[in-house]
Amino acid sequence: MDNIQLKLCDIQGRLFERSTDYASEGFIRDFMNSRVAEHLDSPYNKLQWMGEEYLLEDLEEEKNLAREGEKFSPEVLYWIGYLYRYWACSRKESSKKIYHLAPAKTMKRNYLAFHTFDPEIAIDDLKEISRQKKGDPVASFASNQEI
């Protein structure tokens, strides 16, 4: 990960942190499946440097974001946003695919255990959880791991 990619992780983390006016699960799902996220997934797009306020405005124009529902804490939201972007940058996977493997509920549920991990380890563990959910026989993650 280079400094530019780490700055993108921080921008997306701050974007998620700012989303506390919206239902968190819906916001995360809508963002990860949006054109905004798709632009951030590309190797370079000027949208990446517009800042979290602009990105939120762009997302609000694209999606009808729900305000009613559970709202995660700003710390949890920042970690989720940061880790999703780190995952996209380091593994070259799309936001849509990442969300499919690790939806908002999975991320929130595992925050306490994973937020202090190196991002690479957290990503590996989240991928393993996804494999276990799908019944992959090669899964070797501890069977009592929270899913």
Domain segments of the chain as ranges: 3-133
Q: Give Cα separations from 120 to 36, 88, 112, 114 (angstroms).
A: 24, 11, 16, 11
Between CA 19 and CA 78 the distance in angstroms is 10
First CA to last CA across the chain, in angstroms?
Answer: 28
Check residue 108 and give its pLDDT.
98
Distance of CA 141 to the CA centre of its chain: 22
% helix, strand, coil for the chain, step of 5: 70, 0, 30
Report the distance separating Cα 66 and Cα 68, nearest Å: 6
pLDDT of residue 143: 39
Which of 88, 36, 44 lies closest to 65 in space, CA to CA? 36
Tell me the pTM.
0.87
Per-residue pLDDT tens, the chain, 147 aa: give them: 888 889 999 999 999 999 999 999 999 999 999 999 998 998 775 555 678 888 999 999 999 999 999 999 999 999 999 999 999 999 999 999 999 999 999 999 999 999 999 999 999 999 999 999 887 554 444 434 443
Q: What is the pLDDT of residue 1?
A: 85
Residue 36, CA distances (Å) to 51, 108, 122 in order: 12, 22, 24
Q: In the chain, what is the greatest distance between 2 CA atoms, to the nearest angstrom?
A: 44
Q: What pLDDT, on a 0 to 100 scale, did the predictor assign at position 72?
A: 98
